[in-house]
Structure 1
C-alpha cells in the first residue's frame, strides 16, 4: 500500500447472472493519492465483473509491470490481464502476450481509446475486449462512495445494476473490440 493511500472497504453481494457467478466479497481497496475515485470505482467493477478464483488487485498504480487487476492460477502464472482506464498499446501488447485473456475496463470514451490503438501492434488485438460504462453511471457511484461501503452488483443480459450504501445506479456494459 502506498504512503498516503486512502483505504476503502466494500462488502459486496455479487450476482453475475450472465456468467453464473454468485459471491459475497469483502474487499479492502487502497486508493493511491494519484488515483481518482472514478478510476477506483472502475477498478472495483472490473474486479467484480471478472471475478473468478485467483483474482487480485495489483500492487497499485505505481506498479508498471502488472495491470490494475489480474488473475493467477495455482502455479502463479497470470491467466487474465485486466487493465483499467486508458492503457497504451505497448502495455496491452505485453499483457496479451503474457496472459491467456486480456480485457480493458474504461471510465473514459472508448472511441478515443480505440482510435489511439489503431495501427499499433497489439498481440491478439482481435481477442481483447474493451468494456465501458456511461460516464454518468461512474459519477453516480462516486457520489455514493464512503470509507465503508455496502454494495450489491448484479449483471444480467449486459445490464449492470449497482446499489452502494442505499443509492442505486444502472448502466449497460458496452463491449468494444480493437479493430
Structure 2
C-alpha cells in the first residue's frame, strides 16, 4: 500500500449473465491520494466487469509497467490489459503488444478520451475497446463510497445494475471502437 493511501473494502456479489460469471468476493482497494473517487469507482467496476481467474489490481497509478487492472494466466502471461480513465496512446500501444486483449473503462466523455489517440501508432487498435457509462452514473456511485462497502453488480444485455451500500443505480455499458 502506498504511503497516504486510504483503504476501502468492497464485499461484492457479481452476476454477469452476459458472460456467465457468478462470484462473491471481497476487494481491498488502496486509493492513492491522487486518485479521485470517480477513478476508484471505475477501477472497481472494471474489476467486476472483467472478473476472471487471475484478475488483480496492477500498479497502474505508480507504475508504467502495469495497467490499473490486469488478468494473468497461470503461467504469468498477460491475458487482459485494462486501463482506467484516459491513458495515452503510448500506454495503449504498450499494453496491446503485451496482452491478448486491451480495454479501457472511462468515467469521462469517451469522445474526448479517444480524440488524442487519432493518428497515433497503437498496436492492434482495431481490437481495443473503450467502455463508458451513462452520464452522471459514476459520480452518483462515487458519492456513495464509504470505507467499507457492499456492492451487487448485475449485468444483463449490456446494462449494469449496481446496488452500492443500499442504493440502486443503473447504466448502460457503452462500447466504443478505436479502429
TM (normalized to structure 2)?
Answer: 0.98
**2:61 pairs with 1:89:** no
The answer to whether 1:38 aligns with 2:41 is no
Structure 2 counterparts to residues 14-25 of structure 1, below 5 A:
14-25=14-25
Spell out the pairing of 1:85-164 with structure 2 (5 A cutoff): 85-164=85-164
Give the whole-Å Cα distance in 1 for the aligned partners of 2:60 and 2:5: 10
1:63 Cα deviation from its structure 2 partner: 1.2
* CA distance in structure 1 between the partners assigned to 2:157 and 2:94 by the alignment: 31
* Separation (CA, whole Å) in 2 of partners of 1:139 and 1:34: 17
Q: How many residues align?
A: 179
Q: Name segments (4+ residues, structure 1) moved above 2 Å.
A: none
Any idea what the Cα deviations from partners look like across 1:13-40, whole Å, max 9, x if unmatched?
Answer: 0000000000001010000000000000
User: Aligned to 1:44, what secondary structure does the other structure show?
Assistant: helix
Structure 1 unaligned segments of length 5 or more: list them: none
Q: Distance in 2 between matches of 1:116 and 1:110?
A: 11
Name the counterpart of 1:13: 13
For 1:99 and 1:152, how far apart are their aligned partners in 2?
Answer: 29
Matched, 1:48 2:48: yes
The CA RMSD measured in Å over matched residues stands at 0.7
Q: Distance in 2 between matches of 1:171 and 1:86?
A: 20
Q: Using structure 1 for the length normalisation, give the TM-score.
A: 0.98
Please say if residues 57 and 70 of structure 1, whose CA atoms lie closer than 8 Å, have aligned partners that are also in contact: yes
Gaps of 5+ in 2: none
Give distance in 1, aligned partners of 2:72 and 2:48: 16
Q: Is the 8 A contact 1:32 1:60 kept in 2?
A: no
> Within 1, Cα distance between the matches of 2:136 and 2:35?
19
Distance 1:165 1:101 in 2: 32
- Equivalent residues of 1:84, 1:105 under 8 A apart: yes
The whole-number CA distance in structure 2 between the counterparts of 1:67 and 1:134 is 24
